[in-house]
A and B are shown apart, each in its own frame.
Chain A
Amino acid sequence: MTLDVSSALPYGPLEALEVYFEHDGPRFFALRSSRFLVYLLAICVDEDEESEEVRFLYLAMSRDRFVQVRSGQVSLLEAFEAASHGDIWIVTEDYSAQPTVRAKAVGFADIAPDDLPLPLARLNLQTPTVQAFDPSELEVLARETFRSIAAIELDADGENLSEFPLRALGKVGTTLQEAIDALAQEERGEPTERGAIKRETTEEVQMSVLGLRAASFVLLVGTDKRGRFLERGDFVAETLGRLVELVQAGEDDGKLVTAMRGYGPRARGKFTTLIRAVAEAGSGLGVHVAPVERPVRSALLDVHQVRRALSIIEGVRPDIEELHLDRVILTALNTTRATFEVWDSVSGARYSGRVPREAREMVEGLRVGHSSYVQVDLEIEIDFAAIGDEDSIRKYFLKRISPLD
């Protein structure tokens, strides 16, 4: 091949992948489309000294088929025999005047037998069973499937093995989806601290595993389209973009906490859970996101940066707030365990927490029950990145209490 054949074939721009045989230039080689998930084998079949033409056979195939041919599971001839019409091309490079390329789709039966590879011809190259991760593939996938595609890059042991412990993968998968759910709530502008997230929000960002890539270990995920043809607007892409930004902030100690403060407790907590799951797996974390028709955005933390990010998050002191409640009912008091609960009958909110030593005298002799109205001042500790229910995010401490009536 000496000329660019991209314009003569219907696979978009083609890039050279590898050369199997060269003799004063490549004579047998592989190409890959940078627009579609198509691989091509090209084999030089003839050269006409007088007309100054060189002819090649091109065979287009899927990535899976390419792996079979490259590894020798399928001979070259078998690959041509099994090809569908439209997958085989006779490509003629014409150098008689201005160099030009012509391509003509042919069926297997149309090829002169002498031009075909011999039955014994097969490649026998070590071929990874798991395709190597190439971020540019995400753009192609996003364009072809009309949805944002993300790749989550994990590396359990730093040895670039295409393996990852299943238990750890389950944890990472769950925490990743929960982090995305929480970020989707933020993207929608309606973050909540607890309770179920609205179904229409979680449905929109429900991710499915689309494939695995090597090495280390890369999970390709895309939104579960649930029958929809297109994603709605940029919602998914922007949500995933938030994840990239948070991971990116992890590269810089100072930026991480600032970036996380831009989110509510749920998103902070869920992101922390994801980082913790990755750290516990002894892994680094890469996030690559390809929105449809937009370039890939990437952020990458190695295993040390993941651990450091977790330690920074866990070291952030809780925020302190105060809350004054004018008229609430003391519904529970346990002096032995130093706990209390009050209920605001107007708003329906319940507040329960601890009675610190300095407030214990104040609660002595107080009645508990529906007629026991009290006025209280509470101190609220809001954990920077707690996970789970309300109790773990906000801790209430009784500062002052006095009976009414």
Chain B
Amino acid sequence: MGEEDELPEGCPPDGHWPARGAFYRLTRPSLEIGEVPEDKDWVLPLHTKKSAAYLKHDECDAYSYSLFDDIEPLRIARLASAWARRKSISRVILPEGSGYLLKTESELADGHHDWWPVPAQCIPGAVVVEERAA
């Protein structure tokens, strides 16, 4: 592994399906409603220094973004986490052929999905729908 467009073996895990549809994601604090997140808002964990998967070319998580199929889990997360309150929320549209999806819910956040973009540099259409709340 090493090439960004090649996912590691066994990645995405079993149960994934072709990406398509509308999702939500936390985005940069400074973005305002109606703004479109830029290319710099779409940096894979593989290239994010603050990520556990930074430069871990063999880890499947290094190649995926978190997306939610509903805005509500992000609003609930904002109640608990000041980090989430300080982020804007964007609506993201994944066109057909934009990669793979897998539902990976956690205890509090129903609707969490991992999205593996293909190609890795794929930038989906997105627009800010809620500004930072703190």
Contact = CB atoms under 8 A, between A and B. Distances in A.
A44 B80 CA distance: 9
A377 B32 CA distance: 105
Nearest to A30: B107
A222 to B, nearest CB: 33
Given A28-B77, A118-B79, A52 B50 contact: yes
Q: Which of B81, B84, B86 has the most CB of A within 10 A?
A: B81
A54 B50 contact: yes
A200 interface: no
Interface stretch (A119-127, A282-290, A362-370): A119-127
A20 B108 contact: yes
Given A123-B108, A125-B107, A20 B83 contact: no
A21 B81 contact: yes
Interface stretch (A81-89, A109-117, A168-176): A109-117
B48 interface: yes
Contact of B109 (A1, A21, A118, A120): A21
Interface string B40-52: 0000010011111
Contacts, number: 92
Interface string A28-67: 1000000000000001111100001010000000000000
Contact of B82 (A20, A23, A46, A93): A46
A358 interface: no
A360 interface: no
Contacts of B109: 20-22
Contact of A24 (B51, B81, B134): B51
Interface string B104-115: 001111001000
Given A20-B108, A22-B112, A25-B45, A114 B26 contact: no
A225 to B, nearest CB: 39
Contact of B84 (A19, A21, A52, A125): A21
A19 B112 CA distance: 12
A117 B84 CA distance: 11
Q: Which of B48, B49, B65, B77 has the most CB of A within 10 A?
A: B77
Q: Which of A28, A93, A114 has the most CB of B within 10 A?
A: A28
7 contacts: A20-B80, A22-B66, A22-B106, A24-B65, A44-B82, A47-B86, A125-B107
Interface of B: 25-26, 45, 48-54, 65-66, 73, 77-86, 106-109, 112, 134
Identify the 5 closest CB pairs spanning chains A and B, nearest first: A121-B79, A2-B52, A20-B108, A44-B83, A45-B82
